[in-house]
Amino acid sequence: MKVGVLTGGGDCPGLNAVIRSVVRKGVQEYAFDFVGVRDGWLGLLQDAVMPLDVPAVRGILPRGGTILGSSRTNPLKHEDGLRRVRDTLAAHGVDALVVIGGEDTLGVATELSGQGVPLVGVPKTIDNDVSGTDCTFGFNTAVGIATEAIDRLHTTAESHMRTLVVEVMGRHSGWIALHAGVAGGANVILIPERPFDIDQVCEQVKSRFKINYAPIVVAAEGAVPKEGQMFLKDQSLDEFGHVRLSGIGEWLAQEISERTGKDARTTVLGHVQRGGTPSPFDRWLATRFGLHAIDAVKDGDFGTMVALQGTRIVRHPLADATARTKLVDPSLYDEFEVFFG
């Protein structure tokens, strides 16, 4: 059997660990052959594939990014996209695909699976917003990076007695903001799942200054005020219809400064959360996902996604996993509200 491996969407720490484990087990245990698809779904549209064997994946476990490249390409938005995907697979004798991606990449995988393309999904995203799995790899690394940044910002905030607003990624889910905010001792945490009251935010900030403490506000990029609109610097859309979220941090800093009379600055962590070497946990989880994904291919259990549930790796229907975005449960947010108002 020949298996294609594809990484789509935004890059993510741990992608190479999945590629490595899929290829190593597939070759050594099942005698499969492999090809890597370049630049996500774009590679299947452009017939861009590369040989993939055990020597090609040596030493990539600790590397961030993906050796295969990635893109935010939706083949279903391109003329004859499905036919071109099938033609590329047929031209290289690919019998099945391992598709590693987030909600958009796996959403395409769900559509293609329904059209008869044999594939198995592996959930990745720093946003942790894929349903059916307790955790996606990449999330732990991103939280660690954001937490370290918050730790560092505490000291400079205290030195100048100013509010520092930290804008983190997560699109329409607040997992990174909540986890990093709690771990970093933030005083205000704003997530998309719960629109915020700017007056309450400013009152919380002022209460911290009263005890001679410089407050830290952590805001997910998709956070919105109760009676306002999402703040966007860029209105353009990608092929999945997503806007490029950014701007809430700067707006918050301006409002806080004007309403409290205290200086406020913004730090937008941006892509630094996605880059660099994966954490030990993400290497471990990505490796387990890869091992179980190639088992699913061997079993012919297509149209499924490997998922972490508790401590077990299970197979979850792709259609169910991509039917909705996994958001922060309000009860989880409420558990910590005593710490950040």
Known binding positions = 10, 103, 125-127, 162, 169-171, 221, 265, 271-274
Burial call 40-61: b when 16+ CB within 10 Å, e when fewer:
bbbbbbeeebeebeeebbeebb
329: number of Cβ within 10 Å: 10
| Strand segments (E) across the chain | 2-7, 33-37, 49-52, 96-101, 119-123, 163-168, 188-190, 216-220, 234-237, 243-244, 264-268, 304-309, 312-317
Q: Which residues are annotated as a binding site for substrate?
A: 125-127, 162, 169-171, 221, 265, 271-274
- What's the burial of 201, exposed, middle or buried (CB within 10 Å: 0-12/13-18/19+)? buried
Length of the chain: 341
Report the relative pairing of strands 2-7 and 216-220 from DSSP bridges: unpaired
Task: Please give the positions annotated as active site.
Answer: 127
Q: Which residues are annotated as a binding site for diphosphate?
A: 10
